[in-house]
Amino acid sequence: MDDRFFCRHCQLPGHATAGCPGIPVRPGDQPAPLPPAVVSAILRDPDSPLYPSKIVVFCDDCGTEVAGEFMVSTEQTSAERLEVARAHFRGKGWQCDQSGDYCPEHADHPAAGARQDGAQQ
C-alpha cells in the first residue's frame, strides 16, 4: 500500500494551502467533507489547482452506481481522482481495490474474492 500522506481537505499528496488545515491522512482513510468556507475559498482563488468534480463508481457485479462531488486537482491523474472517490465509498461499505469496485451487497460476493485471487470472470 502507498504510504504517501494526503491532505484531508484537498486530497492532494503532501499538499496544504493557505486556509487549508492540511490534516494528513493515509490512503484508505475516510476523507472528511470540506467545510463550506473552505470550498468557497478554493473556488474564489484563481490560482488554486482544485476544482469540484462529480465522480461515479459502478459496482462491477450488479451495476449499482454511487456518485459524489469531490475536490480534485489539475495535478492529479485520472486514476488519482478516481481514488479520491473510491476512498470515500470504501468508508461506506464498498470494496474498491485491484479486483474492482463492489457495492456493499456484493463486497463479500464469491466472485469478488475470486477476482482478488486473479481468476477471471
Strand partners, 58: 65
If one counts the domains in the chain, the total is: 1
Does 67 fall in a domain?
Answer: yes
Does 1 fall in a domain?
Answer: no
Does 57 fall in a domain?
Answer: yes
Instruction: Give the contacts of 20 (CB within 8 A, at least 6 positions apart).
Output: 7, 9, 10, 38
Does 31 fall in a domain?
Answer: yes
Q: Which domain holds residue 73?
A: 6-116
Query: Residues in the chain with pLDDT < 50?
Result: 1-6, 13-19, 21, 23-25, 115-121
What pLDDT sits at residue 62?
93
Does 121 fall in a domain?
Answer: no
Report d(CA 112, CA 22) in Å as an integer: 35
Q: Looking only at Cα atoms, what is the longest distance across the chain?
A: 48
Instruction: Give the contacts of 47 (CB within 8 A, at least 6 positions apart).
Output: none
Quick count: other Cβ atoms within 10 Å of Cβ 91?
11
Does 82 fall in a domain?
Answer: yes
